């Protein structure tokens, strides 16, 4: 059981190629991290996997437990167990957090089956307690007026409630404070499971101070150019991405 990306190519709508043959397999039970210089295509990869429509897939495949998902809509992929956090911390005016998550869970149930409200709130509150979230967040509109850290905490709450099979977390390049990072780490570490594969995308090494990935990959110019264990992240922090310029890899 894995999320398998094979020779994936994708372009912008104007034809500019961004992903130039990405190969990556994330088996259930493992946490993989992708690092790499700004502009290398990390966020594009996460968006193409989750089905955002501003990219054109021109080759390759993405399979979830053996099933091709590239033809499916964002919504189908999400209901099918793919979760993308952070790239679009979008606001949903007028819809409370509690109702938003409840609707998402309801959409995953077979027709005619209703969510039990008592059990739902019990589960919601216990996860909020785990993330040290104030109960007032249940009634607030999704992400409206939230700080960066609150949005992040909220996305982790959504992830913990939806219990996706494959989670992709794209840490945006905009700096997040250490408290927000710790919350993300707490959620991710709590979600680690033999039933789940996780992909962490990060420009900096610091998230990996709190989450120890099983594998680290470096993306550059639309490809995975290096893979290794967690020690690779430390090496990158020390030496940066200078190795990308070495002639041996050119
Ligand atoms: P990373 O997340 O590694 O910083 P991105 O995937 O965000 O990289 O971007 C890869 C390249 O594609 C960059 O040159 C970026 O400017 C370009 N790009 C990505 N999405 C778009 C878009 N929607 N419109 C124009 N350029 C884009
Ligand atoms: Mg970027
Ligand atoms: Mg990015």
For the chain, the structural domain boundaries read 2-90+165-245
Residue whose token pair is 């264990």:
229
Ligand 3 mean position, distance from CA 44 (Å): 7
Largest distance between two CA atoms of the chain: 62
Give 32-63 pLDDT, tens digit per residue.
Answer: 999 999 899 999 999 999 999 899 999 999 99
Distance separating alpha carbons of residues 229 and 250, to the nearest angstrom: 23
CATH topology of domain 2-90+165-245: Rossmann fold (3.40.50)
| Residue 173 structure tokens | 């390049």
Contacts of 108 (CB under 8 A, 6+ apart): 79, 162
Which of ligand 1's atoms lies nearest the C-alpha of 173?
4
Most confident of 8-22, 107-121, 159-173: 8-22
Distance separating alpha carbons of residues 185 and 179, to the nearest angstrom: 10
**Residue of the nearest CA to atom 26 in ligand 1?**
12
Query: Could you give the ipTM of this predicted complex?
Result: 0.95
Give 190-230 pLDDT, tens digit per residue.
Answer: 999 999 999 999 877 888 889 999 999 999 999 999 999 99
Report the candidate in 165, 229, 160, 153 with the shortest Cα–Cα distance to residue 191: 160
- Which of the ligands is closest to the CA of residue 88? 3
Which of ligand 1's atoms lies nearest the C-alpha of 36?
3
């Amino acid at each position: 059981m894995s999320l398998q990306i094979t020779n994936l190519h994708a372009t912008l709508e104007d034809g500019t190629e961004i992903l130039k043959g990405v190969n990556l397999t994330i088996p259930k039970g493992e946490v993989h991290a992708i690092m790499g210089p700004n502009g290398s295509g990390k966020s594009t990869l996460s968006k193409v996997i989750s089905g955002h429509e501003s990219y054109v897939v021109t080759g390759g495949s993405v399979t979830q437990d053996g099933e091709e998902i590239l033809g499916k809509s964002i919504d189908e992929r999400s209901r099918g167990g793919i979760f993308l956090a952070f790239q679009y911390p979008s606001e949903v005016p007028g819809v409370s957090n509690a109702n938003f998550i409840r609707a998402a869970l309801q959409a995953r149930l077979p027709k005619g089956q209703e969510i039990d409200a008592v059990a739902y709130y019990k589960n919601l509150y216990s996860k909020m307690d785990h993330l040290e979230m104030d109960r007032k967040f249940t009634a607030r509109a999704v992400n409206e007026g939230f700080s960066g850290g609150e949005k992040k905490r909220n996305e982790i709450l959504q992830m913990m409630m939806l219990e996706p099979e494959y989670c992709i977390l794209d840490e945006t390049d905009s700096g997040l404070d250490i408290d927000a990072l710790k919350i993300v780490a707490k959620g991710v570490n709590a979600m680690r499971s033999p039933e789940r594969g996780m992909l962490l995308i990060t420009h900096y090494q610091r998230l990996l101070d709190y989450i120890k990935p099983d594998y680290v990959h470096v993306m550059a110019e639309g490809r995975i150019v290096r893979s290794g264990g967690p020690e690779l992240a430390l090496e990158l922090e020390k030496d940066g991405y200078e190795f990308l310029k070495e002639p041996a890899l050119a």
